[in-house]
Amino acid sequence: MKKALITGITGQDGSYLAEFLLEKGYEVHGIKRRASLFNTQRVDHIYEDPHVENSRFRLHYGDLTDSSNLTRILSEIQPDEVYNLGAQSHVAVSFEAPEYTADVDAIGTLRLLESIRFLGLEKKTRFYQASTSELYGLVQEIPQKETTPFHPRSPYAVAKMYAYWITVNYREAYGMYACNGILFNHESPRRGETFVTRKITRAISNIAQGLESCLFLGNMDSLRDWGHAKDYVRMQWMMLQQETADDFVIATGKQISVREFVKLSAREAGIELEFSGEGVDEIATVSSILDPEKACAVKAGDVVVKVDPRYFRPAEVETLLGDPSKAKAKLGWTPEITVEEMCAEMVAHDLNIARSHSLLKSHGHHVPVSKE
């Protein structure tokens, strides 16, 4: 039985990857951080009581900032595959916490690679690094592929650039099987609530059900190549099953703007929106109700989206569009879920939550709505 270790197992990708590897028959180990509240919601459905014999799913307390802890976990497990998905993954937050972001995202990757080497596992353990389209930042070529030069635009992207090159370096210097997946944005109903797609599907659902009145966004002109996390974790595994290690761009090859994603989400929630105004004065108004059952709490003329400059970034990545030809040609990978299907799934999920919260509220219960 193959053993895999996943850092960031409690995150969006970690949870889908853990499910995927369990289905493939792996013994799956994950590193979780100590928190004052339970933080395993995304993997609770696959959690196995450690008292059960032959459990194939184990969580270990740890942190990418702690070398001794990483070395001990690696030494205990002796994994065949390590997936380094753990990171301070929010671009805007990286401007607020640049040093911590560098420690976790850049040096954390080095700590893992060096622990593997120190333990003499460099010929046994295959390593996957969660690299990112943010490396392209101020884009030098459209669409972006493996050979496109990097120009990172945030402390997050600069930290991930170090992680990218140290992964290449350990491959070249020590013959390690180490790969970078340069993944473009990927989303799902498990996406963190402060990334823009989930912020939108959640707020639009709450507005449709009367739990919120207005969604505040930053740069709505921003263009992204959005895929589904389920399609992308399959590719993370495929990258570690090749004869030789290599780096791959993973993307859909299509892009839409944040504004278009808002429109798509609103339609899924039974609302047609009209945008007017420019820059910080741009707003979206309800132009018609498409489904009165879903959108029971709004009416034509309501202003439901506004701009808040607080969400603008000190340096923005305006456009990202990936070229996944190499992954298609060499690995036979193609994404199966479109952005429209993904958006429909996310809104359906968030509308269900909004409906149950709305029911609780109508029975006099307090329903807090967490916002950034």
Alpha-carbon gap, residue 243 to 241, rounded angstroms: 7
**Window 156 to 185, contacts with ligand GDR (CB under 6 A):** 184-185
Beta-sheet pairing, 227-228 with 271-276: unpaired
Active-site residue, from 19, 27, 134, 268: 134
Determine if 224 is a binding residue for ligand GDR (CB under 6 A).
Answer: yes
Q: Is 127 helix (H, G, I), strand (E, B) or coil?
A: strand
Residue 184 to residue 256: CA distance in whole angstroms? 13
Q: Identify the residue whose tokens are 């270790």.
A: 5
- Comparing CB distances to ligand GDR, the nearer of 148 and 222 is 222
Phi/psi for 126 (5° steps) reads -90, 145
Instruction: Judge contact between 87 and 105, C-beta under 8 A.
Output: yes
Residues with Cβ within 8 Å of 277's Cβ and at least 6 positions away in sequence, in order, are: 283
Indicate if 132 belongs to the active site. Answer: yes
Q: Which does 153 bind (CB under 5 to 8 A by kind): ligand NDP, ligand GDR, none?
A: none
Query: Which CB sits closer to ligand NDP, 7 or 209?
Result: 7
What span, in angstroms and rounded, lies between the C-alpha atoms of 223 and 191?
18
Closest by CA position to 250, among listed 266, 265, 233? 233
Of 93, 175, 173, 162, which is closest to residue 132 (Cα–Cα)?
162
Does 17 contact ligand NDP by CB under 6 A? Answer: no
- Taking CB under 6 A as the criterion, which residues in 179-208 touch ligand NDP? 183, 185-186, 192
Q: Which is nearer to ligand NDP, 90 or 361 (CB)?
A: 90
Query: Residue 120 class from Cβ within 10 Å (0-12 exposed, 13-18 middle, 19+ buried)?
Result: exposed
Of residues 176 and 215, the one with the C-beta less far from ligand GDR:
215
Residues in region 18-57 near ligand NDP by CB under 6 A: 31, 33, 35, 39
Instruction: Name the maximum alpha-carbon separation found in the chain.
Output: 66
**In this complex, which beta carbon is closest to ligand NDP, that of residue 27 or of residue 187?**
187
Distance in Å, CB of 293 to ligand NDP, minimum: 32
Q: Is 153 in the site for ligand GDR (CB under 6 A)?
A: no
Q: Is 15 in the site for ligand GDR (CB under 6 A)?
A: no
Choice between 87 and 331, CB closer to ligand NDP:
87
CB of 62 to ligand NDP, least distance (A): 7
> Is residue 258 a contact point for ligand GDR (CB under 6 A)?
yes
- Rule CB under 6 A: choose which of 26, 70, 88, 143 binds ligand NDP: 88
Query: Strand, helix or coil at 267?
Result: helix
| Residue 64 beta carbon to ligand NDP: minimum distance, rounded to whole angstroms | 4
Q: Checking phi first, is residue 158 left (phi over 0); if not, alpha (psi -120 to 50) or beta?
A: alpha
Residue 145 burial (C-beta neighbours within 10 Å; 0-12, 13-18, 19+)? middle
Q: CB under 5 to 8 A by kind: which of ligand GDR, ligand NDP, none does 258 bind?
A: ligand GDR
Q: Which of 94, 132, 148, 180 binds ligand GDR (CB under 6 A)?
A: 132
Q: How many residues lie near ligand GDR (CB under 6 A)?
A: 22
What is the rounded distance in angstroms from the CA atom of residue 366 to the CA atom of residue 278? 37
Of 3, 5, 7, 178, the one binding ligand NDP (CB under 6 A) is 7
Amino acid at 15: S
Binding-site member from 18, 85, 321, 339 for ligand NDP (CB under 6 A):
85
Helix (H, G, I), strand (E, B) or coil at 242: coil
Q: Choose the binding region for ligand NDP from 8-16, 198-206, 328-336, 341-349 (rule: CB under 6 A).
A: 8-16
Near ligand GDR by CB under 6 A: residue from 91, 204, 233, 284: 91
Judged by CB under 6 A, the chain residues 49 through 88 that form the site for ligand GDR are: none
Q: Which two tokens stand for residue 99?
A: 């040093």
Binder to ligand GDR among 22, 290, 311, 326 (CB under 6 A)?
311
Angle at 228 between CA 215 and CA 323, to 5 degrees: 110
- ∠ CA 128-80-20 to the nearest 5 degrees? 65
Provide the annotated active-site residues. Answer: 132, 134, 156
Rule CB under 6 A: which residues touch ligand GDR?
89, 91-92, 132-134, 184-185, 194-196, 199, 217-219, 222, 224, 258, 311, 313, 316-317
